[in-house]
Amino acid sequence: MGLFRLLFWIAIIAAAFWLWRRFTRPTPRRPQDRTDSAQPMVRCEHCGVHIPRIHALPQDQHWYCSQAHLEQGPKTGGR
């Protein structure tokens, strides 16, 4: 009976210590994800949609949102 009581108190003290450490430690800061930061936007020369420059396809000083629009080139006529 004495061994059970000793193990019980050791478990209670260990749990209390764990909780105390968990709530008194400052939370570590996560590095900011690149998708959270603002990114430069460009306009597709074919359809006019704005997309992040890292996802756009460049060709001759023009930007396109997809391979199909890149192959079709700039759209002519009014928008």
DSSP H helix total and E strand total for the chain: 2, 4
Domain boundaries, the chain: 41-79
What pLDDT digit, counting tens, does each position of 41-75 carry? 999 999 999 999 999 999 988 999 999 999 988 87
Q: pTM for this one?
A: 0.49
**Which position has the higher pLDDT, 58 or 34?**
58
CA–CA gap between residue 63 and residue 55 (Å, rounded)? 10
For the chain, how many residues are written? 79
**pLDDT (average), residues 5-14:** 95
